[in-house]
Amino acid sequence: MESEEKNGSTVFKKTSEYQPGRNWRDYLIGRPLPTAEAAHQKIGKFIGLAVFSSDALSSVAYAPQEMLMILAVAGVVAFPAAVPIAIAICALLTILILSYEQTIHAYPDGGGAYIVSRDNLGEIPAQTAAAALLTDYILTVAVSVSSGVAQLVSAFPGLFDYRVIISVAFVFLVMLINLRGVKESGTAFAIPTYFFILMMGITIIVGLIKAFTNTLGTVQNPPMDVVSMNLIAAQITPFLILKAFSSGTTALTGVEAISNGITAFKEPRSKNAGRTLIIMAFILGSMMLSITYLANHITAYPSEEETLISQLARTVFSSTSPLYIGVIAATTIILIMAANTAFNGFPLLSAMAARDGFLPRQLTFKGSRLVFSKGIVSLAVIASLLIIVFRASVTRLIPLYAIGVFLSFTLSQFGMAHRWWKMGHLKPGEQLVERGSTLTYQPGWMVKMIINGFGASCTAVVMIVFAITKFKDGAWVVVILIPVLVAIFSAIHRHYLAVAKRLSLEQYSPQPVVAHQKVVMPISGVHKGTLAALRYAKTLSDDITAVHISSDAVETKKVQEKWELWGDGYRLVVLDSPYRLFLEPILAYITDLEKQKQPNEVISIVVPQFVQKHWYSNLLHTRTADALRNALLFRKDIIILEVPYQVD
């Protein structure tokens, strides 16, 4: 033990040399890491793209399909509208990337929409952003894993009835990998991410070459549940286009993850995070446009039985080609691994919100692998429940998706626009220190404010469109859930403020010294454990009363005889219990003592407790101290003390 002592100081600093031993958790999540290794757990652009972009990149596997699913209402004649819709989505992506690139450099400590809203819009908008993003992260896990399993079921239809079990199993697999730490999980996810990019790149390039040379053809043997779609000829309405657009914008979910997790990057972290964001946006936009164009070219059919990616891959190659199997495998894995983005974002965001007092403080504690373990486990449990409730159906989960993320987009960009406005009204050389950053005057503030303001307007429109067009399909759940979560956050915050106020030492005057304490010692018999407790009780006070609850006259007589012999003259009170109750009689006795209690007097309950060598042996003995502690915890000036007696 190293120690540091300052002359005249009552504070001593010591460093513990204890190192945790090996146990079964080490085999699942790895050995515990010391705090000093935190700096070595940072990631670069290559791993960062895998960790924070898998959600956004994987969304191209279901966003075009959900877009066509909506257009299918008007029949295959409506499918060509998917291409201009995809172009509009990519334009919106460009606006978002410009906005979040500015956010990354403005807030290098991360936090994204939550921190931006907190510092620029206020407490309620910050709670709203947190509620929206946390909801989105949960849905990201449920949607991406369900979509990945759907890809698997497309290739192996016999697994259809087991899709829920498989989905939940994958969620907990990703949870375990993330519990191993950011760097290790990032390395594990890098291979699937780049394998997906490679396979989709090959599919798109080969598909485009065949399309331009008129050798691509159309989907053969379309899924049976959409064969009748060719007969539909409904009108293509603006509402239908807007609804398809809102479904397609699910491709943009996850683009905010890099701005939330900047602290995970190596230095210079803002520069590395910003470049990763731009690379991710370029890959995402290219794949979204290309897949939508090729799907329209081959007349792909959106279906629950076979995914759009499966139809595209077997048309470009063939259902027996190793490349087809490679595409399905890569898409399945990336969709399941896409949950990794949420498993990085959710714990970080919940820890920030908890640090500000909006969520339980336990979420701020890092686990043995320097990650927020409680947040990771909470996300896995909630997402699994969602998958079970919605039977792992992507189509049923999608309407719940994206409202939250577009709400966070809107709040983030409005917050950034307000930030630039504040900076523009500072004098050169003047500083404004806020919780998340320090503001100084910047000459180009007007252009940046316009970019963020325009982006906020666009995402607000998309959010409203999404809420209206998907409201009946299930979006109403999220519309109601977010205000409920904000109310819960506010209640938690008020609780912490009230507790802090009650515990504050401001205007606190020292309390009088305890003048006297009564000691009550419940006993079931007289033995070595009883005498050990009595020996300790003597160090507290001479006012000691042993209390025995009598429900058996013969046993009570034995206790009295032994106490007369071993009780050192201290009094024994026998409480008759006609109904054989233990807790109620002794609580009534303590209540009577409370009524007689003098000022500056406390009542100490000293409980003898057997402690067996083996944990399972302890199950055979009554935990009297626990029962009394739970019953008396909220009573003032009553102290419960447990005196263990080890029985080998």
Residue 453, sorted as left (phi over 0), alpha (psi -120 to 50) or beta, turns out to be alpha
Note the pLDDT tens digit of each residue in 506-518.
Answer: 777 777 777 788 9
Per-residue pLDDT, 392: 84
Higher local confidence (pLDDT), 585 or 16: 585
- How large is the average pLDDT for residues 385-390? 91
User: What is the pLDDT, as a whole number, of residue 1?
Assistant: 43
Considering only residues 365 and 531, tell me which one the structure prediction assigns the higher pLDDT: 531
**pLDDT band, residue 19 (cuts 50/70/90):** low
Q: Looking at the predicted structure, is the pLDDT value of residue 268 above 80?
A: yes
Ramachandran area for residue 82 (φ above 0: left; ψ -120 to 50: alpha; else beta): alpha
Asked whether the beta carbons of 577 and 549 are under 8 A apart, the reply is: yes
* Least confidently predicted of 153-162, 199-208, 354-363, 606-615: 606-615
pLDDT, tens only, 154-188: 778 888 888 899 999 999 988 888 887 766 667 77
What local confidence, expressed as pLDDT, does residue 231 receive? Answer: 46
**Check: CATH 1.20.1740.10 for 64-422+438-497?**
yes
Residues 251, 233: Cα–Cα separation, whole Å: 28
Contact between residue 58 and residue 338 where contact means Cβ atoms under 8 Å apart: yes
Over residues 73-82, mean pLDDT: 79
pLDDT, tens digit (0-9, with 9 covering 90-100), for 484-493: 999 999 999 9
Confidence of residue 21 (pLDDT cuts 50, 70, 90): low
Which one is predicted more confidently, 316 or 465? 316
Picking from 77-86, 222-231, 442-451, which range would have the lowest pLDDT averaged per residue? Answer: 222-231
pLDDT of residue 291: 93
Amino acid at 352: M
- Whole-number Å distance between alpha carbons of 561 and 322: 87
- What pLDDT is attached to residue 7? 59
Q: Are 443 and 226 contacting, i.e. CB atoms less than 8 angstroms apart?
A: no
pLDDT level of residue 282 (50, 70, 90 thresholds): very high
Mean pLDDT (the chain) is 83
pLDDT at 227: 46
Q: Is the pLDDT of residue 326 over 70?
A: yes
Residue 391 in this model has a pLDDT that exceeds 70: yes
Q: What is the dihedral of CA 480, 486, 491, 492, to 10 degrees?
A: 120
Architecture field, domain 516-647: 3-Layer(aba) Sandwich (3.40)
Secondary structure of residue 272 in the 3-state scheme? helix
Question: 5-9, 253-257, 449-453 — which one is most confidently predicted on average?
Answer: 449-453
The winner for highest mean pLDDT among 108-112, 288-292, 296-300, 316-320 is: 288-292
Phi-psi group of 371: left, alpha or beta (phi > 0 → left; psi -120 to 50 → alpha; rest → beta): beta
pLDDT tens by residue, 627-646: 777 788 778 888 888 888 87
Residue-wise pLDDT for 91-111, tens only, equals 989 988 888 888 888 888 777
pLDDT > 60? residue 596: yes
Residue in the block written with tokens 């780049």:
194
The rounded distance, in Å, linking the Cα atoms of 424 and 40 is 38
pLDDT of residue 622: 63
How high is the pLDDT of residue 3? 46
> pLDDT-based confidence at 267, cuts 50/70/90?
confident
pTM recorded for the entire structure: 0.75
Say yes or no to pLDDT of 624 above 70: no
Q: Yes or no: say if 261 and 348 are a contact pair by the CB < 8 Å rule.
A: yes
Q: Residue 234: is its pLDDT beyond 80?
A: no
Domain boundaries, the chain: 64-422+438-497, 516-647
Per-residue pLDDT at 524 exceeds 80:
yes
Taking residues 565-590, report their average pLDDT. Answer: 87
Nearest-angstrom CA–CA distance, 436 and 543: 57
In this structure, the strands spanning 516-522 and 601-612 are parallel
Sequence-distant (6+) residues with CB within 8 A of 118 are: 111, 125, 126, 129, 356, 435, 436
DSSP state of 138: H
* Per-residue pLDDT at 404 exceeds 60: yes
pLDDT value at position 140? 83
> Are the beta carbons of 640 and 623 closer than 8 angstroms?
no
Same fold, 64-422+438-497 and 516-647: no
Residues 6+ apart with CB under 8 A from 380: 141, 171, 172, 174, 175, 343
